[in-house]
Structure 1
Amino acid sequence: MPEIPCQQALERVLTYLGDEGTVLTADICRQALRLVEASIAEGAGQDLPARCVAKIPDYFERPDESIPDCNPPLKRGCIGYD
């Protein structure tokens, strides 16, 4: 059975959110459905899943990315080649 584009889009949005560490509650799922619905209203097509994923920042608060400092600190060295 072929996958329906809106089903694939919803699956990608929920997978993306889950991979970011978002707990998929009923409210989050409803918000994801609204995102997919709005994207379909703009026009369904093969790029629907990509458009939905691109709109995630407009619909969800995403966790701040914090890149930890490297440890130990990097130091420039020389092994004696001329």
Structure 2
Amino acid sequence: MFMPETVCQQAIERVMTYLRDDGVELDAETCRQVLRLVDSAMKDGGGLDLPARCIELVPDYFNLPGMDIPAPIPPLMRGHLGYYPHD
């Protein structure tokens, strides 16, 4: 018989996936830190929004790699097409 996942399992999976996708190594210490994070979020109250609350807590528990967002190329500049004779 299939048993649906509990909300805490969903929260753990969501945080682990978030960290993996962000380039964090999923070692034993990371797993323990994820469990502490989920435990802390559960102390604040359970419920269906637990996974979302856990994701909000990730920056408090982990040093995530910085995001390097490239500048838009070419640089945005205001201009016009120069319609004759109005330019």
TM-score range relative to shorter protein: 0.7 to 0.9
Map 1:2-81 → 2, pairs under 5 A: 2-70=4-72
CA distance in 1, matches of 2:50, 2:71: 37
What are structure 1's unaligned runs of at least 5 residues? Answer: none
Deviation at residue 71 of structure 1 after TM alignment: 5.1
Larger of the two Rg values belongs to structure: 2
Name the stretch that deviates more: 66-75 or 28-37: 66-75
Any idea what the Cα deviations from partners look like across 1:11-66, whole Å, max 9, x if unmatched? 00000000001110110110000000001111110100000011101110011111
Moved over 4 A (4+): 70-81
Q: 1:67 deviation in Å?
A: 1.4
Cα distance between partner residues in 1 of 2:66 and 2:53: 22
**How does the TM-score come out when normalised to structure 1?**
0.84
Unaligned runs of at least 5 residues, structure 2: none
- Pairwise CA RMSD of aligned residues? 1.8
